[in-house]
Amino acid sequence: MLVLSLNCGSSSVKYRLYDWDRKATLTTGVVERVTIGDSLCTHEVPGREPVKIEHDCPDHREAIKLVLEVLQHPDYGVISDLSTISAVGHRVVHGGERFAKSVMITEEVIAAFKKLYDLAPLHNPPNVLGIEAAQELIPAVPHVAIMDTAWHQTMPSHAYIYALPYEWYERYGIRRYGFHGTSLLYVAKRAAVLLEKDPFECNLVTCHIGNGVSLNAVKNGVSYDTSMGFTPLEGMVMGTRAGDHDAAIDFYIMQKEARTPKEMNSILNKRSGILGITGKYTDRRDVVEAARRGEKRAELAIEIESYRIKKYIGAYTFALGRIDAIVFTAGVGELSDTIRAKSLDGLHHLGIRYDEEKNRLARTRHAELEITGQGSKVRIFVIPTDEERVFAEDVVALVEGKYDIHTNFTYRFQSPDYTNTLRNLEFAKECQENPRLFDIMAPVARKAFLKEAERNEELRRLVAKIPTRR
């Protein structure tokens, strides 16, 4: 069974084709500058050089049409024709209160997404455009919606209701929804595997830190509270989003500078956060490097972001009563030892201690690592997220009639023996350059890695070249 995943943003279409039976990613790619002009498709197939295709895409239909043409291309495609695709999974950012799990897409479901346009004006419209275009171009297969908000529908009302006039919730649906749910679900389930515990006995603080940032309190295996709110603007300091701040500031500046609500919304979402503090950076690698050069505003941005993360870790620890593990994921969480260290420093009084050397080494997107320090009562993991894996499993289970809400459904990646072959191959190559990486793999992950090496000749050859494994 081949599953095509589509993620349609306002000006982009990301895609992935996954072979469910072989457990292999056939290709990934992205079409950028959709609706803008000078559109470009970057198409990647494992083991081959990336291919770039220039093709103007004035709308999402044309972009998805391009993706389908690329998948079938005689030179760099991976399938002979579209009939080989069994199902399509679509990312939908906002599912409101109606959807607590992935669903088959019907006209009624699309109508529900359209009613949520006001809640997610930048995301749901292109998501729906992508769904409608794909249904037109590939009409004979099931289409499935996977929603960012679904994971958080377990939050109790005292965590999601704001201290605002209650009728705003009743009339307009104003409440905390939370986002990044697919990523947070994946790392929560994997953390339970690494802890060797029943997922519904685990209390976690999961930290999805990328350009967008979500912290999630997981109580007994379900989302209990999360830092993003009615929109993705609330919570952490992010690449360009302000996160938590006094709302009166917005009105003050609107009055002082004669800003419209639309202009202020743009400033808070696109010109604030790390960019607002530094004036020029959003990528944390650039910020860390600038701080090393002595740029004071870069230093300040790191301190502000890390302090906010630390506050939320502390707050969620007390809200949950106890925590079994802290998990870092997404681009910054997986790669920035600086942000992780500064977010964890000083939490020893909560029983949270990290190993400085392990944290410094933990920079990969291909393996699950553990950076727990000696004497720590809380384990600390770095888990590369895999939203596309959740997409594929939800789609296949729905098509086969076996799917349910995650509290009644077990994912294949919840097995202790689960591995990602492509990631394992890349990690083995990284370990040849830095063999100490292998030593900080989480024990359960290392065992599964070595078990796969016994049956995978290519991986076995790579592992044999790791200095510590000779």
| Residues designated catalytic | 148
Nearest to 223 by CA among 183, 252, 254, 262: 183
Tokens of 324: 């079994």
Tokens of 264: 């202020």
Rounded CA-CA distance 338/326 in Å is 16
Rounded CA-CA distance 64/60 in Å is 6
Phi, psi of 370 (to 5 degrees): -125, 130
Rounded CA-CA distance 3/24 in Å is 11
Phi, psi of 409 (to 5 degrees): -140, 140
Rounded CA-CA distance 81/32 in Å is 24
Q: Which residues of 326-351 are buried (b: 16+ CB within 10 A; e: fewer)?
A: bbbbbbbbbbbbbbbebbbeebeeee
Rounded CA-CA distance 273/238 in Å is 5
Compute CA 355 distance to the chain's CA centroid, rounded to the nearest angstrom: 25
- Please give the angle made by the CA atoms of 135, 136 and 142, to the nearest 5 degrees: 25
Which contacts of 456-461 are long-range, i.e. CB under 8 A and separated by 24 or more positions? 456/421, 456/424, 458/425, 459/421, 459/424, 459/425, 459/428
Identity of the residue numbered 76? Y
Phi, psi of 81 (to 5 degrees): -160, 170
Residues 226/207, Cβ–Cβ less than 8 Å: no
Compute CA 388 distance to the chain's CA centroid, rounded to the nearest angstrom: 9
Rounded CA-CA distance 98/96 in Å is 6
Rounded CA-CA distance 463/469 in Å is 7
Phi-psi region of 300 (alpha: psi -120 to 50; beta: other; left: phi over 0): alpha
